[in-house]
Structure 1
């Protein structure tokens, strides 16, 4: 029964989660994390694929600088990553895919788990359990503040179940440990490398998002928005602000004008639309007319069409602001996601064994959420090919929101989530 396996795994799940939490890594730089996952999966008997086999090079978005990548690669060697592994991952080819073909024919089922952390300095505060219990982040200004340490842990638990029970399962299993979810940067590259092309069922999910009691899960979600993440670079001409101001072309004023005017984009009548300016950098001194201005913005829409409308309007406004001050502007897309529409018929698969659950207390057919998710590329690829897909939520109390320096989740949710995936495997892939 699933509950016996999950009960046996609880101490290991806690240990894995805390180990991952202590060494968080940012997107496309998860070298140590990928290596630890890969070695564990190899020991279980999976075929493990890494490097350019996993990610389509030109489809990666928002890649760190070469200098940042080199620094993290050197750190990875210091932390025990095998040189042959690192050579395959160099240049930001992190993440992995683990595959298993069962002895009996059946559906191809894929599961996705994100692995990256956030540029947040974790709180060293006595009210914060990771600090209390000694597993706080050891990397300054990097933190697992969104539960991805738990997602990886759940993925390893699923892999362990498959390895131990493969004789009683049928079909093919693909586990995708995806880099760079934050900012919507990694899933597209994995999807466009073909890993979802022949999948019949696809499952992924998230710890938290909505604060729900332990034991409560949602089988599907509604509300994730399509989004585009955009950087804008304004270029003008520097000059002395006192002696020759007429020779200057002020990129700072152009950038700030754009930043305020972006919020005037009319909302769309067909659905939800969003815009946000999250960062502005410009100027070098009070007596210098700034020749550079930089914005980080995002737009969102309830559909791809609405998101596209917001993106084109945002570009138009930024170009108009640049023209007003006789400067130029260039854009770089650094992330994105599509809308998600889950298949309702997967609810019955998840509910199939509900009478025998030990850790799951309630299965909600669906729940409304906000934000965006780059797993949308995977979900939509599977559905476009005739498969079924869903995005689940696993309830936990949230004393602080995701992306907060005091973020944490109740570790009991790990067993709940693992039992959910085990029930899916037993319900959809048993003899």
Structure 2
């Protein structure tokens, strides 16, 4: 399926969509899975609406829904997905006793304008993003592809596989917004073993598979709105209450939070917007930020300090600050023995299996892993090696497409752990 994997990856790369607006992506995945014979659950069947974090504003959702309809998404699918209910769950029951295995693949893109240079493969090969300002800059186009490859293998082995399979194509991974909504729908309560993965994260040779990871951080995502009072900057500056200065002060002072002695901690302001014009005291300011910590307690320390600094900055300029919680993730402890039985054969795409790999960052798949483990199942998060000449979330991000076959072969071996003898 190597050629097919590359074809899928390039199509999804060319059609990126942001979190909870992956209408065209969800539809394309779902129609492929329906044709294979999977039972496909979409909309409120797939996720708990109230458990979604950071859902885009209705006008933006409506705009993307109109676009998806114009691209050919069926009206009945749009009706179910409307309002940001994207992503899907596909199930397959072999009818034979065996394990219930769960697999998660994230599907969203990032608000990044993709590089348009000949040295960038998607540009030179003609599959650069067709949506200006939106890009698959983290490999999720590859993750979708791996999930579809796995689904094709399941459908091709009706007499050999045992047990049941649940494939979760999750929306809004970026920002820690979508996993909990699928967890709260109950898809993972009776899963015996759960697998999810990522291309890259840390540079490794193609063919290298890390069976588990260590180091993902708990995280909280915040949007902050500052509200002050406009005034003429020359004639009546004393009547203004400057929200721009409050936002700017907060954005710099957040970096003064002490690092925690018990483990890694992070804070980052990723977006700052403020102001109306050069002669106007700004009445609005806006920040998007996150905190992270090795444990929930460390992240909570960072979060409480961030809130304190935000409110203190607002008080300094006599403006109001409203903090909006828009996403989170938890820590992860993988079951490291889950890939111990995978053989390294001479004709294998895999050439090295590592017990574990060190990572940082955060993952909302943590909710899924912790849910499975809380009910007695086992779970892990794998990495598939690729060179990373540019970091994740960079406009020139790309991965080696040969890694797709490595990933699919790994998942096939996982499935074969439940085959008949």
Q: Which residue of 1 aligns with 2:314?
A: 322
Match of 1:389 among 371, 379, 382: 379
Contiguous gaps of at least 5 residues in structure 2? none
1:76 aligns with 2:86: no
Q: Which residue of 2 aligns with 1:231?
A: 223
Deviation at 1:54, TM superposition (A): 1.1
- Contact kept in structure 1, 2:163 and 2:418, CA below 8 Å: no
Match of 2:403 among 393, 397, 413: 413
User: Which aligned pairs between 1:182-261 and structure 2 lie closer than 5 A?
Assistant: 182-261=174-253
1:285 aligns with 2:254: no
Deviation at 1:82, TM superposition (A): 0.7
Match of 1:365 among 355, 363, 368: 355
Q: Which residue of 1 aligns with 2:12?
A: 20
Contiguous gaps of at least 5 residues in structure 1? 1-8
Q: Deviations over 1:259-286 (max 9, x none)?
A: 2221121221211111111111112122
Deviation at 1:15, TM superposition (A): 1.3
Q: Which residue of 1 aligns with 2:89?
A: 97
Q: Which residue of 1 aligns with 2:413?
A: 423
For residues 327 and 45 of structure 1, what CA distance do their matches in structure 2 show?
57
1:10 aligns with 2:2: yes
- Structure having the larger proportion of residues in helix: 1
Q: Which residue of 2 aligns with 1:156?
A: 148
Q: Deviations over 1:296-324 (max 9, x none)?
A: 11100001111111111110111111122
- Contact kept in structure 1, 2:147 and 2:167, CA below 8 Å: yes
1:342 aligns with 2:334: yes
CA 1:357–1:315: 2 relative to 1, 3 Å: farther
Q: Alignment RMSD, CA only?
A: 1.3
Match of 2:388 among 371, 391, 398: 398
Match of 1:294 among 253, 272, 286: 286
Match of 2:128 among 136, 144, 152: 136
1:378 aligns with 2:378: no
CA 1:248–1:43: 2 relative to 1, 3 Å: same
Deviation at 1:165, TM superposition (A): 1.0
Deviation at 1:253, TM superposition (A): 1.7
Deviation at 1:241, TM superposition (A): 2.4
- Contact kept in structure 2, 1:232 and 1:296, CA below 8 Å: yes
Q: Deviations over 1:60-88 (max 9, x none)?
A: 11111211111111111111111111110
- Contact kept in structure 2, 1:107 and 1:429, CA below 8 Å: no
Count of aligned positions: 421
Mean Cα deviation higher: 153-162 or 400-409: 400-409
